[in-house]
Amino acid sequence: MQFGLIEMWQAMGLVAKAVAITLIFLSIIALYRFIERQLVFARASKKSKAIAPKLADLLKQGKIQEALTLSSKKEYRWSHLARVTAAGIKEFLEGKEANLSFEDQVETARRGCERASNIFTQELKRGLNTLATIATSSPFIGLFGTIAGIINAFRGMALTGSGGIGAVAQGIAEALVTTAFGIGVAVIALWCFNFLNTKIEIYDAEMANTSSEIIDFFVRKSEQA
């Protein structure tokens, strides 16, 4: 018996083939989710880099309403920095219109920034639970194929009445292939999950810094008034 991929596939039982197809499907989902999230992150980074210097310039000039109008534009809705800035300024101005004390205005602006940051973080995390599920479940799916392969190995021994390698080769091959496949898919999904999660932490830090800068701007503006 030859042990090329085609030969092993032809020799595999129905259970082992079902396991292999399932793992292939899961690996495609993991790669798709990874690429899709990368595109979302790239769009957020691009939009934020485009708007950040414009917002900084407007705030330095004290043009709060203009900064709110710019950050609220539809073209920047995918920018995490624009979303946080718009939320903070909006809450601050609404607090001012409601005749709140300056401390309360700043506090409402801080909470608005936090809410916008949390919402955007959840949007960035969309689909990561799928990667985590694939990473944790793939080895067990592969193990199911392993068990099926071992059963086939014992079946081969029973049919031939021999314990030679030829009688168990097919079953052992199935067991090893499905095990390796399951571990491979899990490693890919786990790597994708960790990579994306690290990027989300970077975006969280950027939004936290932006929130802090917005609050500091309001405090400085009040002291200058």
pLDDT tens-place string over residues 83-125: 999 999 999 999 988 888 888 999 999 999 999 999 999 999 9
Q: Average pLDDT in the 39-67 region?
A: 92
CA angle 40, 22, 153 (to 5 degrees): 150
Q: Which residues, other chains included, contact 122 with Cβ-Cβ below 8 Å and sequence gap of 6+?
A: none
Per residue in 27-49, pLDDT (tens digit) is 999 999 999 999 999 999 999 99
**Domain locations in the chain as residue ranges:** 5-224
- Taking the C-alpha atoms of residue 30 and residue 208, their distance in angstroms, rounded to an integer, is 29
Contact 15, 155 (CB under 8 A): no
Structure tokens at 3: 């042990």
**pLDDT tens per residue, range 157-212:** 666 655 555 555 666 767 778 888 899 999 999 999 999 999 999 999 999 999 99
What residues have CB less than 8 Å from 162, skipping those under 6 apart? none
What is the pTM (predicted TM-score) of this model?
0.82
Q: How far apart are CA 34 and CA 31, in angstroms?
A: 5
Catalogue the long-range contacts made by 93-100 (C-beta closer than 8 Å, 24 or more residues apart).
93/64, 93/65, 93/68
Q: How is 28-88 classified by DSSP, letter by letter?
A: HHHHHHHHHHHHHHHHHHHHHHHHHHHHHHHHHTT-HHHHHHHHTSGGGTT-HHHHHHHHH
